[in-house]
Amino acid sequence: MLVRNLIGLLVVLVIVFISYKVYFSELQSTGSGSPARAVDAVGVENDLLAIAQAERTYQAEQSSYASLGELTSSGRLAMSKPGRGGYTYEIETSANNFRVVARCPEATSPGCTNYAVDNTMEVHAVP
C-alpha cells in the first residue's frame, strides 16, 4: 500500500514538472518570457487602441486621418511620449484608412513582437 501511494505521488510530481516546463517554454517562445516584456506588450496594445480611437474621432470631425503629432497637439490623444518600453509608434494614413504600428527594437530586445491596429480596431502581431 505504501509503495502504491509513493508511485502515485511520483507520477503526480512528474506530471506537474512536465506541465511546468511546457508552460514556461511556451512563454519564452512567444516572446513574453519576462514579466517586464509582458507588461510592455499589454501597454503597447492599449496605446495602439487609444491611438486608433483618436484616429476615428479625428476622422469623424475632420474627414481625414492625422499624424501622431497632430493627434496629440489637437488634444484628441493624451500621450506624453511616442512609445513605451522601447517600442516606437508610427501612423500610416491614406484617404480612407489608417494603420498604427508599434515597432520594437530588435537590436536591444531580440525576439520581441511588432504590433499593428487599423480601422477594424483589432490589434495583431506583424512582422
Residues 87 and 116 in one domain: yes
Residues 53 and 105 in one domain: yes
Provide the number of structural domains found in the chain.
Answer: 2
The 87-93 sheet, strands edge to edge: 83-84, 87-93, 98-103, 114-118, 124-126
Containing domain of residue 52, as a range?
34-126
- pTM (predicted TM-score): 0.69
Q: How many CB atoms lie within 10 A of CB 52?
A: 22
Give the tens place of pLDDT for each residue, 20-79. Answer: 777 666 555 544 456 667 777 888 899 999 999 999 999 999 999 999 888 888 888 887
Give the tens place of pLDDT for each residue, 73-111. Answer: 888 888 777 778 789 999 999 888 999 999 988 777 777
List the one residue out of 46, 47, 48, 65 whose CA is nearest residue 56: 65
Residues 41 and 3 in one domain: no
Question: What number is the average pLDDT over the span 11-20?
Answer: 83
Give the three-class secondary structure for 11: helix
